[in-house]
Structure 1
């Protein structure tokens, strides 16, 4: 009788943001279900409510980061300058101590938490990349000017070249050998991505062997209370959610959306918004909405959102078409791809009128082609295997022989 496999230790380094934490948590639960151990690096006040009281957290402390720009190249630059870079510098010491003291077999590194890759490489520990957004996959920034006026940095490399220079600067600042430079966003051995080839803009026949396109990572999670009894069975329903990080800029858009829905008496809206938001007649408004549970119960027929990968993936695997109003980062990329695939209508977040929003909502609700396309993309995402497939691939990677770290 063969001896049982030795449990493996996984250290997860991820930004303290719900859109990154929730899919990583689903992977961690699948990893633990295979008999392995997991711990996290990050600020306890942000991680603990999502991960629960029993999670092992190596605390970094918390700090404020600069507010990000609303859209375009400025938003990408501010993401790196105002969050990724200072967050990396702030957390690198704690990540290094966690690697040294907890001794993980593998480190899972979010693409926007390069400290994990820097610490793992320096210690000679295998690390895998985690891509919960589409911003870094397929390099959608290639050819984009680094400044809104069309200027570029780093010898004409545009926004992608500017970002690559930022990454090399982090590597050098961490004291790692320049000759061993590896893009901290991409582990040479494994990149776990929460999309499909179509959604990420990749040629399905040429996806790199190191990529695991597993689709959305879903798991049961604590959901806020919701007045289910207020759902109107006689009307179709639209979920409206613009994400937690967009609340400060979404007010005007939500007002126009409310005006559009007011002209659709056969549609009931479920809106994630503060108590001050204007709601259309008969709408249900909550500060927090149980998005996944609404979709699982079949309680909504379409979704209007900003194009974040979590909401998009959850909607698609449940066959729901979308109206997408992207604001920044990967959202315009995802919205453009889904519109091209016929699973969504894209509208302009800043300028879409209530008439345009009403027409977009009517299209995804009334035209079967949008539902059919959403169902097809959803099947492709489900075929990735989700959290179970991600944990299996990560386990194989962790058990394989590796040669990593400084010579």
Structure 2
């Protein structure tokens, strides 16, 4: 009687992974992280967030797992140059790190994530994860930390290094294990590309994953029927944090648009801005849907990485009026790449704004350059590629991680 063949048992499916996301409570950081979190959940994994309920819940929804940090006010920040970098760290990043570190440590200890995703401007995530022996990946939605955005300013670079080391020391971590909490030694996820970050693609570190924009639908009511049959349409949006300073700029932009009768504008602006005839002004507009539908031909914005990435992925040239932080860096790179015209936020006249808009609308080279950068961004793979890279990192043997990542956590996991 012939022997019965032994059928090998099927390998059990890999267990779900837990991801803890630590980002500042700012839309420019939360929105791309939300896109990654949704892709992560779609693969059967679990995700939790750190931050103030009032800021996170409207963006994440009622089902999101949020470990609250509480909320506090932070000092105002300078508008441009080295002063803006210093005030970003002194007025927000450092006090935010000190304020949230205890809560992040408790969440890491109790929820026991397999990996922490720590925004470069939320070092508490990296500090807490390192101290608990949990692998942590860095999240870089801003262009302010990668490459040499400070233009070789040695004094400013040394000052920031001192700030980072002081945070490490204040967290009680061993000096011998110091690692820049902005840069995980294992994985840095950036929703950008080499060209936009000013990097030589041949010298991008293996630990970097330049995945391009993390796109996430943000439905907003919109009067699509009001889009007129003019030859051109322009989207004007200055970001969620610029309302308090953008009023004068938007007034000058409206004056410029009034002299462009062949252009219809879609403007994200408070109601008090006087818009030219035919313009559509709303407090919030569906930026991504407008681009996906091909409803706009160019974008005028502040240079925030979300708007820039979404515009370029859809091949739209830009007029960029940077206000603060990484926006001047991004604007400079876009201009150098030929995908945008840069104007001065504080001083640009209606005539200069009109000329800039006319240039990106009429000169096809700007559209071609935007499409070229957009292809490089799309090649990064977006949220799916980011999730796959993060999953491989989380499942990698501990021997591939620094020694601090092999420390056992005490107790059992809690929470969903």
The TM-score bracket by the shorter chain reads over 0.9
Q: How many angstroms does 1:162 deviate by? A: 1.1
Aligned to 2:248: 252
TM-score, length of structure 2 as denominator length: 0.93
Find the residue that maps to 2:161 and give its secondary structure: helix
1:36 aligns with 2:32: no
Residues 142, 160 of structure 1: 8 Å contact kept: no
8 A contact 2:79–2:325 mirrored in 1: no
| Contact in 1 for aligned 2:101/2:125 (Cα 8 Å) | yes
Alignment check: 8 A CA contact 2:130 2:404 kept: yes
Q: Does residue 291 of structure 2 align to residue 295 of structure 1?
A: yes
Contact 1:121 1:404 in 2 (8 A): no
CA distance in 2, matches of 1:225, 1:405: 49
Match of 2:5 in 1: none
Number of equivalenced pairs:
394
Q: For 1:278 and 1:287, how far apart are their aligned partners in 2? A: 13
Distance 2:337 2:392 in 1: 33
Note if 1:125 corresponds to 2:134.
Answer: yes
What secondary structure does 2:241 align onto?
helix
CA distance in 1, matches of 2:157, 2:192: 21
* Secondary structure of 1:250 counterpart: helix
Task: Identify the residue that residue 170 of structure 2 maps to in structure 1.
Answer: 173
- 1:178-193 counterparts in 2 under 5 A? 178-193=175-190
What do residues 81-109 of structure 1 show as CA deviations (whole Å, max 9, x unaligned)? 11101110111011000000000000000
* Runs of 4+ residues deviating >6 angstroms: none
Q: What residue ranges of structure 2 are gaps of 5+ in the alignment?
A: 1-9, 408-416
1:226-271 CA-to-partner distances (Å, cap 9, x unmatched) read: 1111111234110001111111111111111111111000001111
CA–CA distance in structure 1, aligned partners of residues 280 and 222 of structure 2? 9
* 1:401 matches 2:397: yes
The answer to whether the 8 Å contact 2:230/2:264 transfers is no
Q: Determine which of 312, 335, 340 is the counterpart of 1:339.
A: 335
- C-alpha RMSD of matched pairs (Å): 1.1
Q: Is the 8 A contact 2:19 2:46 kept in 1?
A: yes
Give per-residue Cα distances to partners, 1:276-325, cap 9 Å, x unaligned: 11212211111111111111111111000010000000000011000001
CA distance in 1, matches of 2:403, 2:249: 48
Any idea what SS the aligned residue of 2:300 has?
strand
Separation in structure 2 between the aligned mates of residue 120 and residue 197 of structure 1, nearest angstrom:
28
CA distance in 1, matches of 2:229, 2:17: 48
The two structures have a TM-score, normalised by structure 1, of 0.95
Q: Does 1:61 align with 2:70?
A: yes
Counterpart position of 2:301: 305
Instruction: Say if 1:110 and 1:211 are closer, same or farther in 2 by CA, change over 3 A.
Output: same
Q: Secondary structure at the match of 1:351?
A: coil
Q: How many angstroms apart in 2 are the aligned matches of 1:359 and 1:288? A: 26
Q: Which runs of 5+ in 1 are unaligned?
A: 145-156
2:56 corresponding residue in structure 1: 47
Separation in structure 2 between the aligned mates of residue 272 and residue 347 of structure 1, nearest angstrom: 19
Which of 107, 124, 138 is the matching residue for 2:116?
Answer: 107
The answer on whether the counterparts of 1:125 and 1:404 sit within 8 Å (CA) in structure 2 is no
